[in-house]
Structures are given as structure tokens and as C-alpha cells.
Copies of this chain bind each other. A is one copy, B any other.
Amino acid sequence: VQKWLVMGSAGVQIVPVLGIPAVDQTTDLAAEICSATAKGVPEGFCDGDVLVVAQKVVSKSEGRVVTWDGDASTKQQVIRGEATRIVRDTNSLIITETAHGFVCANAGVDRSNSEPDQLVLLPNDPDRSARGIRDRVHAATGKQIAVVISDSFGRPWREGSTGVALGSAGITPILDLSGTKDWAGIDLETTRICLVDMIASAAELVMPKAGGIPAVVVRGIDSSWVNDARSNVATDVIRPANKDLFR
């Protein structure tokens, strides 16, 4: 029952990884993250750490950028090219479904924190991106960590964006507490918790929107959840359209 209890009173630490240089397709992103973490994060990578990496640098390192002439209509074409369905379309905002199944504004296409003549697209397979970084960190350090690729999405009903996980590796994305009981012995009702999205939000607390800190180490997550080789965002977090009440 108490699986989701952080041991002791030390709690969870959200540590920004400082000193990662500007990223493009020539960057060995995992190597830069390992180097910066070894220098700037206490004890470097430790078993059970969750490394959160901003989508923007993952996309850039994978070459998921297109040249842009600065014209709004060209950007609209790129957005519509990345969308598999338009969910809502207003003068100021396009809500799209992407090939991954994400529902988000502008199909995730963004121009902030990139070269002035570039648009940055979402990674083709963010779960694979996360697995790749996790494997590289393991090869370089011998540590078993989890990786979450994060982005900021808006949502219905509430203003402002929050962190979301686009991809994950080595962590249980959804904590399913069905069948567990609370401290009074009563079955829990709200039983499915999106751990990876909550970790993405926690990490974004130390990622300034203006850029410069594209990676964060989240330390202290219960180790029983950071050891899952099979689950990822595509299989566990994206709600199938036929089960969704708002598409």
C-alpha cells in the first residue's frame, strides 16, 4: 500500500543540470548531459535518478527542425503537416492531434529557444529518444536511471501550461493503485496517477522558459517505480481516442 511513499524526510530533490551548451544535430546530447551531470550534480548520476530532458534539445539533436522564412502562413503549413487531426481551430489557436496521439497546440511546433530561421518539431518517437539516452547514460556511468522527455502543454478548463512527458524509459508512467487501500482500510477511488507528467512538472520548476537548462535530475522517487523496462508514454499515457470523452 505504501509503495508511493518517499523514504524518510529527505523527500525529493529537483536539481538543474547546468552547463549544457547549445544543441544542434551535431551534438552528442547524452554525452553532454553525462559530462554536465558529473560536474554539477552532487554525486553525479545515482541509481534511481530520473533524468528529465526538455523536448527542444532532444528534437534539435535528432535534426527535427525545419528552415523557416519567418512567414506566419508557412508556419501554419508546417503545423498542419505535423497534425493528423485538427481538434479545434480558432483565429489565435490550433489544437491538434499529432501522429503520436498527443493533443496539443500547434502540433508541438515551436520557435522559441532555437535559431531565428528554424521551427522545431516534436521528436518522431520520444519513448525511443528516452530509451536511447537511458542506455547511453548506463553505458557511460553504470547507473540505472529513468529518463523522461518533457514539454509544456496547455489544457482545457485551466489557464497556463504544465509539464507533460512526451516519452519515458525505465519508469512506470502510470501508478495504478487499484485494489490498494488507504490508511483507514478503504479502497482507493482515484487509483491511476500519472507519475511521469508530475515529474515533468516538478522538473520544469527549475527549467526557465528562456532556456539554458534543458536537463534536470529528479532524485528521491521511490525506487520501486524506477525500474520498468517495458512501459512508456505511448503505451500507457496517451488515452485511446475511443476511450476519450473530449475528442
Report which A residues bind B (CB closer than 8 A).
1-6, 9-16, 18, 40-41, 88, 90, 93, 95, 102-103, 105, 110-116, 152, 154-164, 173-175, 177, 180-195, 197-199, 201-202, 204-206, 208-213, 216, 220-221, 236-239, 244-247
C-alpha spacing A186/B245, complex, angstroms: 37
C-alpha spacing A163/B236, complex, angstroms: 18
Q: A112-B189, A159-B237, A246-B156 given as contacts; is B194 within 8 A of A2 (CB)?
A: no
The one of B211, B236, B246 that contacts A182, using a Cβ cutoff of 8 Å: B211
Number of copies: 2
- A201: B residues at CB distance < 8 A: 162-163, 197-198, 201-202
A90→B239 contact, CB < 8 A: no
A9→B16 contact, CB < 8 A: yes
B188→A157 contact, CB < 8 A: no
Chain B min CB distance to A182 (Å): 5
Chain B min CB distance to A2 (Å): 6
B182→A88 contact, CB < 8 A: no
